[in-house]
Amino acid sequence: MTPLLSIKNLSAGYHGALALIKVSLTLNEGETVAVVGGNGAGKTTLIRTIAGMVPSTCGEIWFQNADITQARNDVICELGLAQVPEGRQLFPDLSVEDNLNLGGALKRSRHSRRQNLERVFGLFPRLQERRRQMAGTLSGGEQQMVAIGRALMAEPKLVMMDEPSLGLSPIMVEMMFETIAQLNRDGLSILLVEQNVTESLALATRGYVLENAEVVIEGRSADLLKDDRIRRAYLGL
């Protein structure tokens, strides 16, 4: 089986300092793959490099059999790769509906924007109730719903989620992870980048552990949850 996403020996960084060092990773169609690690491990840089927002210094990125290593962000989005960025990055002075419609502005999804909007409202009924409300006035959990909904408006093949549980209440964290699980059950492929090791590995088929810009452990999620190195470093056991 050819992976939906394949990363080979990828290095990238900022101002001459590497934040990723020869990272390799694969994700098959229909999978949820978790990338876990502490602050500064390189998780966000990984997503931004895949998305074409940070240039790589070496290595390859393949998506749907296309080499996107040097591709522009807009080209990558049109191929069907979307992201839910850390911190949501909404337009606070635009309405919920306007923020969502921005996600549906791509050529690949423009023709079915109305159907996609109804799909998002079906997934998040609270957003339909607040469709005219300014996004900046929403709670953190509601803003995260908008960020996920905006990505779904693009009809992606793969969604990369960067710390979707960050800053949310425990109840909202539980709801957010259940939403991610439901999206995967519906057939969406997901690359999940999280500090919440237990929850993210429980959702994922496989996982990768990033430390100091490098992948130090990889494997089936069930095996990683039993790994003494992970239990000591991230679970306090």
Q: Who has greater pLDDT, 23 or 108?
A: 23
pLDDT in tens, 186-211: 999 999 998 888 899 999 999 999 99
Indicate whether 1 pLDDT > 80. Answer: no
Helix or strand holding residue 13 (H, E):
strand 5-14
pLDDT in tens, 32-62: 999 998 888 899 999 999 999 999 999 999 9
Predicted local confidence at residue 31, as pLDDT: 97
Residues of the chain with CATH 3.40.50.300: 1-80+158-237
**Cα gap 8→150, rounded to integer Å:** 29
- Which SS3 state, helix, strand or coil, does residue 112 take? coil
91 phi and psi angles, rounded to 5 deg: -95, 100
Query: According to the 3-state scheme, what is the secondary structure of 25-87?
Result: EEECCCCEEEEECCCCCCHHHHHHHHCCCCCEEEEEEEECCEECCCCCHHHHHHHCEEEECCC
236 Cβ contact list (under 8 Å, min separation 6): none
Class of domain 1-80+158-237: alpha beta
Predicted local confidence at residue 236, as pLDDT: 63
Tokens 């079915």 correspond to 112
pLDDT in tens, 148-168: 999 999 999 999 999 999 889
Predicted local confidence at residue 58, as pLDDT: 96
Q: pLDDT confidence of 237, banded at 50, 70, 90? A: low
